[in-house]
Structure 1
Amino acid sequence: MPLRQTRGALLVDVGGVLLLPNAELLTPVIARHGGVDTEADFLRAHYAAHNAAWPANGEPCDYYDLLPGFAGVREDRRGAAADDYRAVSAERNMWHAPDPASKEALAAFVADGVRIAIVSQADGTIAQMLTEARMCQEGDGPGVRVDAVLDSAIVGYDKPDPRFFLHALEAVGAEPTQAVHVGDTVPADVRGAQAAGILAVHYDPYGDCDDPTDHEHVKTLADICAYLPEST
């Protein structure tokens, strides 16, 4: 029986890469405080605030406090906007909107023989969220079939603990040198993958990273293709 042709392994973060903040629900929250009023502008503000909250260098800040400023809310209304945004977000996990372009890229990687492990800092529900979003799942289902879906609350290791990333490699039968990890948070995703000896790529759609020369970057999930090894 011929050996399966593979292009190494891809470890993929969920929030901000596969599942996005639900802009349809969250944009009106910001708009009523005088901020951006389109979903595209909201997502642009989100990534700027996220990168500022979790910088490559310096101390982390509160994402919810930062978001209104990046979203164009007047300074005197930012506190109220942050409180409102935080309250709405607490009603349920708002990071549940699937990114169609990322799903298409994920399917293409699977078709090309890339072993895929989903590696999420989560609360035990990430597999259900991905299935409900029709993004991906282990085995048959409504989304892309991937090799493993790993939730930190179930595995027992949180990012950036390198053991979480090494556990993902074990799940797909790959060595660190055969793998690439992509995620949108430098302290958790990039630093964790680097500590595990895995090539770390920052998912940074708008070039918001405060230290762009420190590690590799992509603007779309499809761009990861350039970092994957050739078929073996």
Structure 2
Amino acid sequence: MSRNDDRFPDQVRGSAPVLPNGTAVTGTAESRAALGEPVELVLLDVGGPVYDDCWYREALLRATCELVAENGGMLLEAEFQRVYDARRQSQEGSLRTAMAEHFLRDGDRERLSDRAESYWFYPPSALHPDVLPALRQLSERYSIAVVANQRALVVDALRRDGVAPFIDHWAISELVGAAKPDPEIFWHALNRAGVLPRNAVHVGNRLDSDVRGAQRLGMRTIWVVRGEAPPDPTPEQLGEPDIAVFSLADVPAAVERLQRAR
């Protein structure tokens, strides 16, 4: 298999491997304890790492504007963006909840969620160009599981766009009945694959649901800093995952790095 390890020079910050962007292999005590363990399974988020999150943003914006109008008001996109970016920056809690709290009446959260989901879809153009090459490379060495807070119909988009053939196991929140960071959805994928958390790496673009959720089970984590990741990640945020990358193209080498690091 072709390797990209030349992008990960053997720099050291203390005893932690460091990526070219200056991000060290960090993580929690549990995930650091797994460093050097063989990786058997890569768990992959969908919104952000695979598909451009702008399509979810557009669905949420449309639904929020409509409900504000139905309540007799008007929402400017700049106001929506301010709240959207603030919640992304904090990496704490649901974007839908933030919009409902700031712009809607009490009890409108579920209406917002249902309406946003009815508008939420991924056209073929939403697929990031680095996805299929990265999955092709990963699939040569590891099993791959999708672990995503999505409706079941996302599987149709993944099949349409050539992603599904690389996926060995599925954990879609609507089908599992649990959403990240609930441990149940991670365990669903791990149990299907027959893999222990110390032999798995989770790849996602949110700290609250992806990185922290996976770390609680003792998995190593790779944070893909795009989509619903913070507009301006802080050094502290960059230090939460074991590795932070800015492209899925860097994930195969990052996984390899994690299993070689001590």
Give TM-score, length-normalised by structure 1: 0.64
When residues 89 and 59 of structure 1 are mapped into structure 2, their CA distance, relative to the original with a 3 A threshold, is closer
When residues 226 and 159 of structure 1 are mapped into structure 2, their CA distance, relative to the original with a 3 A threshold, is same
Other-structure match for 2:220: 199
Q: RMSD in angstroms over aligned alpha carbons?
A: 3.9
1:1-232 aligned at under 5 Å gives the runs 7-21=39-53, 49=84, 52-53=87-88, 55-56=90-91, 92-96=119-123, 97-111=126-140, 113-132=141-160, 134-137=161-164, 144-205=165-226, 208-210=232-234, 211-215=237-241, 216-224=243-251, 225-228=253-256, 229=259
CA shift digits 1:76-102 (9 cap, x unpaired): xxx9xxxxxx9x966621444111211
Verify the 8 A CA contact 2:173 2:179 in the aligned structure 1: yes
Identity of aligned residues (%): 25
Q: Which amino acid is 1:53 matched to?
A: R
For 1:34 and 1:60, the matched residues in 2 are separated by: 19
For 1:59 and 1:21, the matched residues in 2 are separated by: 16
When residues 135 and 103 of structure 1 are mapped into structure 2, their CA distance, relative to the original with a 3 A threshold, is same
Unaligned runs of 5+ in 1: 1-5, 36-44, 66-78, 80-85, 138-143
Q: Which amino acid is 2:205 matched to?
A: D
When residues 60 and 151 of structure 1 are mapped into structure 2, their CA distance, relative to the original with a 3 A threshold, is closer
State the Cα distance separating 1:185 from its structure 2 match: 1.3
State the Cα distance separating 1:160 from its structure 2 match: 0.4
Unaligned runs of 5+ in 2: 1-37, 63-75, 104-112
Q: Which amino acid is 2:44 matched to?
A: V
Q: Which amino acid is 1:99 matched to?
A: H
Q: Which amino acid is 2:168 matched to?
A: D
For 2:218 and 2:197, the matched residues in 1 are separated by: 6
Give TM-score, length-normalised by structure 2: 0.57
For 1:54 and 1:219, the matched residues in 2 are separated by: 16
CA shift digits 1:120-156 (9 cap, x unpaired): 1112222112112x1322xxxxxx4321122111112
When residues 169 and 51 of structure 1 are mapped into structure 2, their CA distance, relative to the original with a 3 A threshold, is farther
When residues 163 and 7 of structure 1 are mapped into structure 2, their CA distance, relative to the original with a 3 A threshold, is same
Other-structure match for 2:20: none
Q: Which has the higher contact order (CA 8 A, sep 6+)?
A: 2
